[in-house]
C-alpha cells in the first residue's frame, strides 16, 4: 500500500503498532505482510466508521453495565467471530480468550474505581473483544466499537494480548468519548500519550504497584525471543525501546527541541507522544509511592479541559491548573519541573500548531 491514506483525523486508525515500525519491517524484510497489517487495520477502521454512521447508537447496546464479551476469530477475518467467553462465565482454558477477558475486566475496574467512570463511554457500553484475528495479523486495535487482537506472526511478534496494550487501545475509546481529540500533530501525540499513560496506570492498578515498581515499557512481551527490544515504547526513556536489524531503532524524541514536524504518522502522533510520556513518568516518580493515582486523576481532568485540539503547551497548562485544584503546591512544582525537563512551557495561548483540514493524509 502507499504510505499515505485518507482517513478521519479524530480517531486512531492504525492500532497499537506505530506505522513507521511496520514500514520499517516491510522495507528491511522485503515482506508485504507488514504493510498488509496496516491496510487491514485501516480497512477495519473504515468499516467501523460506516457502521457507526449508519447506526450511531449501536455502540451503546447492552445493559449499561459495561458487560464483557470475548469472541474468537480462529484466524478468520469475520468479526466479532465465535462466542468464546461472556460476562460472568468461567475461564475457557484458551489463553488469549481468558487473557482478553481478564484484561478487559482490569480496564473496567480501573476506570470505575479510580475515575468513577462506567466503562468506555461512561454509560456502560458493552466491552467487546475479538482474539486470533486474521492470518498473522500483527496488531491490536480499538476501532470505535470493539477491540481486535491479532495472533502475531511468531517471527517478530509473539503476542498482542498484553495488559498495557489492552489498556492503551481501550483508552483510545475513552479519549474519543471524553475529549474527542484530533488524531493529528500535537493533539494526536497527546491522544497516543494518554493511551500509553492510562495503559500503564491500568497495569499498575491491577498489580497494586507503587510508582517505584512501574515498568514504563509499553508492550513488554510483544516481541519474540531474539528481537533486540524490550517493547514498542519506553515512556521514561523515549527512543530506547528497541534497536534491532529487523525493526530499526526506536525513533521517538525525548525533548520538545527534537519534535518531529514531518507529515507522516499523522504529523508525528507516535513519534512525539514520548515527550509527554516522559514528563508524566518523571512527575509521578518525583511524587513517589501511590501518588500516581492522584497524577492519573489530574491528567484525566486536564485531558477534558484542554479541548479537542490542544498543543503540548496548552495541555501542560491544564495539567498545572488541575494540579492546583487536586494536588499540593509541592505537586505543582514537581509537575512544572517535569514539563521543563522535556522543554514544554505551559501556556494557554491559542496556537496554530495543529491547524489543518477535517481530514489528513496519514500514515508513514
**More confidently predicted of 314 and 4:** 314
User: What pLDDT, on the 0 to 100 scale, is given for residue 360?
Assistant: 34
Nearest to 312 by CA among 276, 260, 266, 264: 276
- State what percent of residues in the chain have pLDDT above 90: 79
Q: Is the pLDDT of residue 8 over 50?
A: no
Question: What integer is the mean pLDDT of 211-226?
Answer: 98
Nearest to 241 by CA among 9, 6, 17: 17
Question: What integer is the mean pLDDT of 126-131?
Answer: 97
Task: Specify which residues 4 forms β-bridges with.
Answer: none
User: What pLDDT, on the 0 to 100 scale, is given for residue 4?
Assistant: 37
CB atoms within 10 A of CB 155: 16
User: What pLDDT, on the 0 to 100 scale, is given for residue 127?
Assistant: 96
Catalytic one of 45, 69, 115, 169: 169
Residues 6+ apart with CB under 8 A from 184: 9, 266, 267, 269, 354, 356, 360
Compute the mean pLDDT over every residue in the chain, rounded to the nearest whole number: 90
Question: What integer is the mean pLDDT of 3-12?
Answer: 44
**More confidently predicted of 110 and 8:** 110
Q: Is the pLDDT of residue 357 over 50?
A: no
Question: What integer is the mean pLDDT of 327-343?
Answer: 98
The pLDDT tens digits of the residues spanning 153-168 come to: 999 999 999 999 999 9
Catalytic one of 45, 172, 270, 315: 270
**More confidently predicted of 36 and 297:** 297
Q: Is the pTM of this model over 0.95?
A: no
* 270 classed as catalytic: yes
Question: What integer is the mean pLDDT of 108-116?
Answer: 98
148's enclosing H/E stretch is strand 147-150
The x, y and z cell numbers of residue 341, run together, are: 525537563
Distance CA 80, CA 46 (A): 16
Q: What residue ranges define each of the domains in the chain, with the CATH number in brackets?
A: 6-175 (3.10.170.10), 185-361 (1.10.390.10)
The pLDDT tens digits of the residues spanning 59-69 come to: 555 568 999 99
Q: Is the pLDDT of residue 47 over 90?
A: no
Question: What integer is the mean pLDDT of 102-112?
Answer: 98
Amino acid at each position: 500500500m502507499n504510505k499515505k491514506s485518507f482517513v478521519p483525523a479524530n480517531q486512531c486508525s492504525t492500532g497499537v503498532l506505530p506505522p513507521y515500525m511496520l514500514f520499517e519491517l516491510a522495507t528491511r524484510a522485503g515482506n508485504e505482510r507488514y504493510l498488509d497489517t496496516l491496510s487491514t487495520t485501516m480497512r477495519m477502521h473504515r468499516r467501523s466508521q460506516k457502521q457507526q454512521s449508519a447506526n450511531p447508537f449501536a455502540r451503546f447496546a447492552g445493559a449499561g453495565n459495561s458487560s464483557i464479551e470475548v469472541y474468537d476469530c480462529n484466524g478468520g477475518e469475520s468479526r466479532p467471530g465465535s462466542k468464546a467467553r461472556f460476562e460472568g462465565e468461567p475461564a475457557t482454558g484458551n489463553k488469549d480468550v481468558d487473557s482478553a477477558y481478564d484484561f478487559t475486566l482490569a480496564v473496567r475496574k480501573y476506570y470505575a474505581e479510580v475515575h468513577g467512570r462506567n466503562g468506555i463511554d461512561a454509560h456502560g457500553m458493552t466491552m467487546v473483544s475479538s482474539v486470533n484475528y486474521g492470518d498473522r495479523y500483527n496488531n491490536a486495535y480499538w476501532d470505535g466499537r470493539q477491540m481486535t487482537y491479532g495472533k502475531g506472526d511468531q517471527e517478530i511478534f509473539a503476542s498482542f494480548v498484553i495488559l498495557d496494550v489492552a489498556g492503551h487501545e481501550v483508552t483510545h475509546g475513552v479519549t474519543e468519548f471524553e475529549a474527542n481529540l484530533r488524531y493529528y500533530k500535537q493533539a494526536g501525540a497527546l491522544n497516543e500519550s494518554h493511551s500509553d499513560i492510562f495503559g500503564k496506570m491500568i497495569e499498575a492498578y491491577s498489580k497494586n504497584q507503587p510508582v517505584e515498581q512501574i515498568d514504563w515499557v509499553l508492550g513488554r512481551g510483544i516481541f519474540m525471543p531474539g528481537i533486540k527490544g524490550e517493547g514498542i515504547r519506553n515512556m521514561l526513556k523515549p527512543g530506547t525501546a528497541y534497536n534491532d536489524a529487523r525493526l530499526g531503532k526506536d525513533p521517538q524524541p525525548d525533548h520538545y527541541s527534537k519534535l518531529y514536524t514531518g507529515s507522516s504518522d499523522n504529523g508525528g502522533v507516535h513519534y512525539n507522544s514520548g515527550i509527554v510520556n516522559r514528563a508524566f513518568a518523571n512527575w509521578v516518580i518525583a511524587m513517589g509511592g501511590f501518588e500516581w493515582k492522584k497524577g492519573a486523576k489530574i491528567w484525566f481532568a486536564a485531558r477534558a479541559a484542554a479541548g479537542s485540539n490542544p498543543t503540548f503547551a496548552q495541555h501542560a497548562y491544564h495539567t498545572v491548573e488541575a494540579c492546583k485544584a487536586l494536588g499540593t503546591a509541592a505537586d505543582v512544582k514537581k509537575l512544572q519541573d517535569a514539563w521543563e525537563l522535556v522543554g514544554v512551557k505551559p501556556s494557554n495561548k491559542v496556537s496554530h500548531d495543529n491547524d489543518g483540514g477535517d481530514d489528513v493524509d496519514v500514515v508513514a
